[in-house]
């Protein structure tokens, strides 16, 4: 039990030093934007939209997001969309095109490129590997 307590304290101290999603979610501005992206990942989010949601200027939002999370808002949104698509590829029989559209991509080619960049395989290869 003592080890668990020491480990929790060590992690809490380390979080204050660097970039982390836990720190981003504790920030009231970033939390609002991240929550909004998770609620509507298919929405055509711009940095301006996210900054408005967060209640701070575009420049301040972009800098704060990168500094605290270690990621850009656009890259975070891409990873979120790909994660949702992976879930759908696992559980639904929808076509890749339909899944692409449902996670916010109007073009299945652009979706496939983003998926491969994040996952290392195409959506079709990913689905095939599940069988």
- Where does a domain end: 71, 96, 112? 71
CA gyration radius, the chain: 17
Per-residue model confidence (pLDDT) at position 6: 64
- Where does a domain end: 56, 71, 86? 71
- Residue 121 in 3-state DSSP? coil
Q: Look at the chain and report how many structural domains it folds into.
A: 2
Domain that holds residue 41: 17-71
Residues 86, 42 share a domain? no
Tell me the CATH number at 29.
1.10.10.60
- Which positions ≥6 away from 124 have C-beta within 8 Å? 96, 112
Per-residue model confidence (pLDDT) at position 60: 96
- The answer to whether position 6 is within a domain reads no
Residues 82, 67 share a domain? no
Per-residue pLDDT tens listing for the chain (131 residues): 665 566 566 556 555 555 677 788 889 999 999 999 999 999 999 999 999 999 999 999 999 999 999 899 999 999 999 999 999 999 989 999 999 999 999 999 999 999 999 999 999 999 999 87
């Amino acid at each position: 039990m003592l080890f668990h307590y020491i480990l929790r304290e060590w992690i809490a101290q380390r979080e204050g030093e660097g970039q982390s999603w836990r720190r981003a979610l504790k920030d009231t501005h970033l939390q609002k934007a991240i929550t909004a992206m998770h609620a509507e990942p298919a929405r055509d989010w711009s940095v301006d939209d996210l900054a408005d949601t967060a209640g701070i200027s575009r420049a301040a939002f972009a800098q704060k997001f990168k500094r605290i999370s270690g990621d850009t808002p656009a890259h975070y949104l891409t990873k979120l969309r790909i994660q949702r698509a992976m879930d759908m590829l696992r559980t639904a029989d929808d076509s890749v095109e339909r899944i692409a559209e449902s996670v916010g991509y109007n073009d299945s080619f652009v979706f496939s490129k983003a998926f491969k960049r994040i996952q290392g395989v195409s959506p079709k290869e990913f689905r095939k590997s599940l069988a």
